[in-house]
């Protein structure tokens, strides 16, 4: 079965540079989420898109932006990189469930490990 694809898997950047992370959700999934996970930390929600529209926003720095394209892939753009941005960045996709009883399963990609030096 198709899974969430993320690219690149590893990325090394210097401070103040920019980075673009890409995510290809599972076909027919309508919602994409971005999470940031620092070493030894839990995943922190950054931003989500439902049907190509931003649906929710979490602790995403103003230096970061994201969008979802017509083919449903999503990109996370990060500018003016800081050492503290070094983390694993996960993209997840799912069918949006509007109620509360449906199984709420998000499928996570393998992540992009960003190292800022």
List of residues contacting other proteins (CB under 8 A): 31, 33, 35, 41-45, 48, 50, 55-56, 58, 90, 92, 94, 96-111
d(CA 11, CA 89): 11
Output the smallest distance, CB 113 to other proteins, in A: 8
Of the two residues 12 and 97, which places its CB atom closer to other proteins in the complex? 97
Output the smallest distance, CB 64 to other proteins, in A: 16
Output the smallest distance, CB 116 to other proteins, in A: 18
Of the two residues 20 and 110, which places its CB atom closer to other proteins in the complex? 110
User: What DSSP line would sit under 30-92, residue for residue?
Assistant: -EEEEEEE-TT---EEEEEEETTEEEEE-S--TTEEEEE-TTS-EEEEE-S--GGG-EEEEEE
Q: What backbone phi and psi angles, to 5 degrees, belong to 85?
A: -80, -10
Of the two residues 20 and 106, which places its CB atom closer to other proteins in the complex? 106
């Amino acid at each position: 079965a198709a899974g969430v694809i993320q690219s690149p898997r590893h990325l090394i950047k210097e401070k103040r540079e920019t980075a673009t992370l890409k995510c290809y959700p599972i076909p027919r999934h309508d919602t994409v989420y971005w999470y940031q996970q620092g070493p030894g930390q839990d995943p922190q929600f950054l931003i989500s898109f439902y049907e190509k529209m931003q649906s929710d926003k979490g602790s995403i720095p103003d230096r970061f932006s994201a969008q979802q394209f017509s083919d449903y892939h999503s990109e996370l753009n990060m500018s003016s990189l800081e050492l503290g941005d070094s983390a694993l960045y996960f993209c997840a996709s799912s069918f949006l469930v509007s109620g509360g009883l449906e199984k709420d399963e998000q499928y996570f990609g393998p992540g992009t490990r960003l190292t800022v030096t």
